[in-house]
Amino acid sequence: MKRWLCLFISFIPLLLLTTSCYGLQQINELAIVTAVGLDVGKAPGSVKLSVQIIRPADARGQTGAPAGGTGQPIYSVSAEGDSIFDAIRNLGHFTSRRVYWAHNFLIVMHESYARRGIADMIDFFTRNHELRMNTWVAVTPDAPDEVISTITGLEVVPGQAVDRLFRNIQIVGLAPASDMRSLEEAFLSPSVQPVLAELKLVKRGISNKKPEEHGSIKQVELAGAAAFNKDKMVGWLSSIETKGAMYFLQKLKSGIEVVSCPQSKDQIVTLELKDIRLKVTPSYANQVPSFDIRMKLQADVVENDCGAPITEIREATERTLKEKLALHIEKAVARAQHYHSDFLKLADVFRNKFPVEWQTLGTDWNAVFVQAETTVEVEATIESTVLKAAKQEVK
Amino acid sequence: MIGVTSMQEMTQEVIRLTLSDKTASIEEILGDSIDVQRRDFMFCGNPDYPGCCYSIDGLADAAVIDAALKALVVSGTELVDEPALLATAEEILSCLMFNAAVRACSTLAAGIERILSGDTLVLIEGVEQTLLISSKGWKDRSVEEPASENNTRGPRDGFTESIRTNTALVRRRIKDPMLRMEGMVIGTRSKTDVNIAYIQDLVKVGLVDEVKQRLSRIKIDAILESGYIEEMIEDAPFSPFNTLQSTERPDKVASALLEGRVAIFTDNTPVVLIAPTYFWQFIQAPDDYYNRYWVGTFFRMVRYIAFLISLTLPSIYVMLVSFHHEMIPTSLALTIASGREVVPFPVLLEAVLMELAFELMREAGLRMPKPIGQAVSIVGSLIIGQAAVQAGLVSPFMVIVIAITGISSFAIPSYSSSLALRIFRFPLLIASGTLGLLGFSGMFFILLLHALSIRSFGEPYLAPVSPFQQEAQRDMIVRMPMWMLDARPDFAQDTKRMGEHQKPQVPKEQKP
């Protein structure tokens, strides 16, 4: 008994020695990546990878300890390689710290890279244990290294700024919240196609020192979407098409819409949409699927420039609103059919209703989907005029 | 010098010796210590009956001896014509003495033992037995508030160094005839009084015998503090956990007795031991019961959190910062990384250094003379809190972690058990600093299994959580209202402590 105990006790230090602290990495010895950009490299088939790395001392400023110099909060570098992982390895030639991916917020790809095919990117970013599936994914027509290294005004870390933009999508409703999960899900599905958000640089920031330049500072804007067929990007969606698609993709519950007044095209009334409900009912006849898309919503008047009380213009405004929303949806569907890419997830609705028919149609859904007929019907009621009531003779 | 066997022979036998023989042997045994007082007198003023009394200066109360001598000499002269009429000690003490506590004693050994305890031994020529007058009267510390166990509401009295005062403090709280105090003397040289207190019709069956058996097993020269006894009778001698509760508060002892536990009083120390003990008792404070139950529950929860923090916070921090960076929210990770940017040490070393610095400050603050205590706390906190961070030796986050840990460990009511947690912190820290989450969970489970394996006088140490006892949960994580705490622990003989329907009711409004 005593011998065993002695043996056991002498083994414990040995055990600790042999581990050599496997996996030990101090947090300040890591290069924490918060955004990645992917572009086509100079050599054919190669990848140009740019990363935004945090410099914690400057990202957080003086925290009592002497900080490591005063400079930029981020350090952006790019490297090329035959594959993504090769490019990451090549980053090691000039990053003095180990590149650490677990805090990555954003993967942004250039349009040309996306058009070439993103299968390698999906594989790498889902296979690696350090990467997370809740990373946002976007496509940009601008240079991705410029997008990731553009410092925004409000956040210290640009990656964090884009993260916040994505989180506000339910309110703004101008781009789909595409992350690795939704991308992987659509990529693996035989029928549904991926759609990614669009990031671009716009000159919107106004310099405090040179206000006469009227917004010459580039800012990152999240608006629009890119449609994919399998792993290849097929084209952009216009802002109206994106709006229409958002009802399908994000199940938007609210939004705003500006419609012109009944009596004059120049005057407008602004409506806030609430309780939006979208219901897609598939039907199947003559080898052609058709979809009945019904939308129900309520609207509040938030701004009325018509010069008439709402009681007078209610019906006309409701009609204009219905037409406008129906147009958005129709355009989105038309665009999807044009691209041969069912990013609106109509396939899922159809399969749930007609599992038997799906067996035959599903194998070539993209071709079938193009021929699908859709009818769009919108039910909109303007209920509230907010604080201004017609009874009190206010408009 | 006199041999042990001959001394025993001499002192064991019934005293049939003359006075001079007796005094000679007493003086031989006691030696000529300066504090041994001898006072000769004439019994009833009669020179044929010389007498002699022994006491220890400083232990015996001079007024008591005065009264005894007055009785034996002055009253004896007045009342007794012929001293030969009072031939036995019993007759003398029943007819002549007016001290409250006097008894006859037939062996010199017992007599000498009592002299050394502060009693006065009276020898009279021609009387076989001796008289023992209880004359204990030394300087005592008065009953004060215990320094290490404070509370805001509740009694302020604490135990003192005198065992009789201590038992009296408990007796005052429980005026139950079933409250028993059993005496025992431990220590061949110190002959320390040890009392075992229990309530006869509540105490766990067999517990008193077990305690007595464990106490009688102790063969030691001296007991200077109850810690000696604790280490000699505890269930898990190798464990850092203490399986006996120690307290200076009479109310804690009284409540333990009422739950069917046993208290062990030791002379010369204000610390009383309570057995059996559950681990969770160390986290519970008397305030929980004296304040209303909402407050009691809240404070108790705070203390459980403090317990968890003081045990695990540095380990979790070290583990996250050196292994599992992905588990820290990004913004926090950046803040930590920026604070650590210039720190030259690995997190584990940083944590161990800071823990050591904190322990140094605590120990130094305890040991040094009180007047310079402030100097150390100012220097220590300035150096560790401010200068070390500014010099870039430790990160501000580590200072916060260690400070919170330190504060939390002081929030645990039982100081002695917070010391055990302090010790457990280091293996946890080293395991999580070398093996990450694996090391942390492994070491935590080793500690947990160890705590699960030990018992305190037959009771599982982690009860009532494991084994789970439904009834006892009312007074475990939360403290239910007093009218719901109607049960004693399972091991008590009578588990019902309250009548039915004790919840106060609003009286029905009476119509005029």
Confidence of residue A38 (pLDDT cuts 50, 70, 90): very high
Q: Which residues of A touch B338 (CB under 8 A)?
A: 56-61, 63, 65, 67
> How would residue B137 be classed by pLDDT, with cut points 50, 70 and 90?
confident
Answer whether 0.90 is exceeded by the pTM. no
Taking Cα atoms as reference points, which of A245, A301, A294, A292 lies closest to residue A274? Answer: A301
Which of B189-193, B338-342, B372-376: highest mean pLDDT? B189-193
A65:B435 CB<8 A: no
Is any Cβ of chain B less than 8 angstroms from the Cβ of A59? Answer: yes
Q: Do B341 and A67 touch (CB under 8 A)?
A: yes
Most confident of the following: A94-108, A342-356, B209-223, B374-388 = B209-223
The predicted-structure confidence for A310-326, as pLDDT tens digits, reads as follows 778 888 889 999 999 99
State the DSSP code for A118.
-
Asked if A56 lies within 8 A of B334 by C-beta distance, the reply is yes
B403 in A contact zone (CB under 8 Å): no
Q: Is residue A16 less than 8 Å (CB to CB) from chain B?
A: yes
Q: Does B335 touch chain A (CB under 8 A)?
A: yes
Q: How confident is the model at residue B179 (pLDDT cuts 50, 70, 90)?
A: very high
The one-letter code for the residue type at B14 is V
In the predicted model, what is the mean pLDDT of residues B310-333?
92
Residue A213 pLDDT > 90: no
Residue A159 to residue A35: CA distance in whole angstroms: 5
Residue A342 has pLDDT above 50, yes or no: yes
- Give the model's confidence band at A211: pLDDT under 50 very low, under 70 low, under 90 confident, else very high: confident
Q: How far is A119 from chain B (nearest CA, A)?
A: 26
Q: Do A65 and B330 touch (CB under 8 A)?
A: no
Return the number of other C-beta atoms located less than 10 Å from residue B47's C-beta: 7
Give the closest of B337, B343, B434 to A32, CB-based. B337
Tens of pLDDT along B434-444? 888 999 999 99
Q: Does B85 touch chain A (CB under 8 A)?
A: no
Contacts of B149-156 with C-beta under 8 Å, sequence gap 24+, read B149/B247, B149/B248, B149/B249, B149/B252, B149/B413, B149/B414, B149/B415, B151/B285, B151/B286, B151/B287, B151/B290, B152/B287, B153/B287, B153/B290, B153/B291, B154/B251, B154/B286, B154/B287, B154/B290, B155/B249, B155/B250, B155/B251
State ipTM: 0.82
Chain B residue numbers touching A56 (CB-CB < 8 A): 334-335, 337-338, 341
Q: What are phi and psi of A275, to 5 degrees?
A: 50, 45
pLDDT at B4 over 50: no
pLDDT at A387: 67
Mean pLDDT in residue range B146-171: 91
* Residue A66: predicted pLDDT: 47
Chain A residues closer than 8 Å to B334 by CB: 32, 54, 56, 59-60, 157
Average pLDDT, chain A: 86
Question: Does B340 contact A59 at a Cβ distance shorter than 8 Å?
Answer: no
Chain B positions in Cβ-Cβ contact with residue A16 (cut-off 8 Å):
430, 434-435
Q: Would you call A291 helix, strand, or coil by DSSP?
A: strand
CA distance A180 to chain B (A): 17
- Chain A residues in contact with B427 (beta carbon < 8 A): none
The pLDDT value recorded for residue B270 is 94
- Mutate one of A2, A5, A26, A62 to test the B interface: name it (highest B CB count within 10 A): A26
- Measured between CB atoms, does B255 come within 8 Å of chain A? no
| Cα angle: A111, vertex A116, A118; to 5 degrees | 85
Q: Which residue has the higher pLDDT, B73 or B5?
A: B73
Mean per-residue pLDDT for A368-383? 89
- Residue B170 near chain A (CB below 8 Å): no
A28 touches chain B (CB under 8 A): yes
Residues above pLDDT 70, as percent of chain A: 92
- Of A89-93, A171-175, A293-297, B9-13, least confident by mean pLDDT is B9-13
According to the model, what pLDDT value does residue B303 have? 94
Phi, psi of B20 (to 5 degrees): -65, -35
**Alpha helices, H only, B341-383:** 347-367, 373-381
* pLDDT above 90 as % of chain B: 43
Distance from C-alpha of A149 to C-alpha of A53, rounded to nearest angstrom:
9
In three-state form (DSSP H/G/I as H, E/B as E, the rest C), the secondary structure along A320-344 is HHHHHHHHHHHHHHHHHHHCCCCCC
Report, as an integer, the average pLDDT of B300-304. 94
Q: DSSP for B484-500, please give it.
A: G--B--TTSS--B-S-S
pLDDT given at position B130: 86
C-beta atoms of A56 and B341 within 8 A: yes
Closest alpha carbon within chain B to A34: B330
Give the one of A21, A64, A160 whose C-beta lies nearest to B434's C-beta.
Answer: A21
Q: Chain A within 8 Å of B389 (Cβ-Cβ)? A: yes
Distance from the Cα of A198 to chain B's closest Cα (Å) equals 24
Inspect the interface and report whether the beta carbons of B340 and A66 lie closer than 8 Å: no
Chain A residue closest in CA terms to B330: A103
For the beta sheet containing B272-275, the strands, ordered from the edge strand earlier in sequence to the opposite edge, are: B179-186, B192-199, B262-266, B272-275, B245-247
Q: Is A30 on the interface with B (CB under 8 A)?
A: yes
Q: Helices B396-410 & B293-322, crossing angle to 10 degrees?
A: 150
Residue of A208, A220, A199 lying closest to A157 (CA atoms): A220
- Separation in Å, CA of B443 to nearest CA in chain A: 11
Provide mean pLDDT across the span A271-278.
90
> Is residue A157 within 8 angstroms of chain B, CB to CB?
yes
Q: Tell me the three state secondary structure of residue B387.
A: helix
What is the pLDDT confidence band of residue B511, given thresholds at 50, 70 and 90? low
Q: Is the pLDDT of residue B404 over 60?
A: yes
**What is the model's pLDDT at position A63?**
47
pLDDT digit string, tens, across residues A198-209: 999 988 888 777
Longest Cα separation, chain A: 100
Min Cα distance B315 → chain A (Å) is 14
pLDDT reported for residue B2: 44
User: Among B326, B342, B434, whose Cβ lies nearest the Cβ of A68?
Assistant: B342
Q: CB A26 to CB B347 under 8 A?
A: yes
pLDDT tens column, A112-163: 999 999 999 999 999 888 888 999 999 999 999 999 988 777 888 888 889 9
When comparing pLDDT for B6 and B131, which is higher? B131
- pLDDT above 70 (res A197): yes
CB nearest A65 (choices: B328, B330, B341): B341
Q: What is the percent of chain B with per-residue pLDDT over 70, rounded to a whole number?
A: 96
B343 contacts on A by Cβ (under 8 Å)? 28, 65
Q: Is the pLDDT of residue A236 over 90?
A: yes
pLDDT of B252 higher than 90: yes
User: Is B338 in Cβ contact with A59 (below 8 Å)?
Assistant: yes
Residue B315: which pLDDT band, with cuts at 50, 70 and 90? very high
What rounded mean pLDDT belongs to chain B? 88
pLDDT digits (tens, 9 = 90+) for B450-492: 999 999 998 999 988 988 988 889 899 899 999 999 889 889 9
| Closest alpha carbon within chain A to B443 | A12
Residue B426: predicted pLDDT:
92
Beta carbon pairs, A and B, within 8 Å: 104
pLDDT at A61: 63
User: Which pLDDT belongs to residue A64?
Assistant: 44
In angstroms, the CA A367 to CA B50 distance is 133
Is there a contact between B325 and A25 if contact means CB atoms under 8 Å apart? yes
CA distance to partner chain A, nearest, from residue B226 (Å): 30
Q: What is the mean pLDDT of residues B11-15?
A: 51
Nearest by CB: B338 against A21, A25, A63: A63
Q: How far is A315 from A323, CA to CA, in rounded Å?
A: 12
Helix H or strand E encompassing B14: none
Report yes or no: A70 at the B interface, CB cutoff 8 Å: no
For residue A100, the distance in angstroms to the closest alpha carbon of chain B comes to: 9
Name the band, by pLDDT with cuts 50, 70 and 90, for residue B1. very low
Spatial distance between the Cα atoms of A391 and A395, rounded to a whole number of angstroms: 9
CB distance B343–A28 less than 8 Å? yes
Asked if B331 reaches chain A (Cβ–Cβ under 8 Å), the answer is yes
The stretch B182-211 carries a mean pLDDT of 93
A157: closest CA of chain B, how far (Å)? 10
Domains along chain A?
Answer: 28-237 (no CATH), 250-395 (3.30.300.210)
**3-state secondary structure at position B506:** coil
Whether chain B has a CB inside 8 Å of the CB on A62: the answer is no
Average pLDDT over residues B98-117: 85
Q: Is B387 on the interface with A (CB under 8 A)?
A: no
Is B341 in Cβ contact with A68 (below 8 Å)? Answer: yes
Tens of pLDDT, residues B39-52? 898 888 888 888 89
Closest Cα to residue A378, out of A263, A313, A266, A292? Answer: A292
pLDDT of B12 reads 52
- Whether the bond between B286 and the residue before it is cis, its omega within 30 degrees of 0, is no
Q: Are B334 and A32 an interchain contact pair (Cβ–Cβ within 8 Å)?
A: yes
CB contact under 8 A, A132 and B333: no
Token pair 């220890």: residue? B56
From chain B, the residues in CB contact with A64 under 8 A are: 339, 389-390, 396
Cα(A329)–Cα(A341) distance, rounded to whole angstroms? 15
Question: What are the tens digits of pLDDT across the range A63-96?
Answer: 444 444 557 788 889 999 999 999 999 998 888 8
Lowest mean pLDDT among A74-78, B16-20, B236-240, B327-331: B16-20
Detail the DSSP E strand segments found in chain A. Answer: 30-40, 47-54, 74-81, 98-100, 106-110, 136-140, 195-205, 217-229, 232-237, 255-260, 268-285, 288-304, 373-384
Looking at residue B392, its pLDDT comes to 84
What per-residue confidence (pLDDT) applies to B415? 83
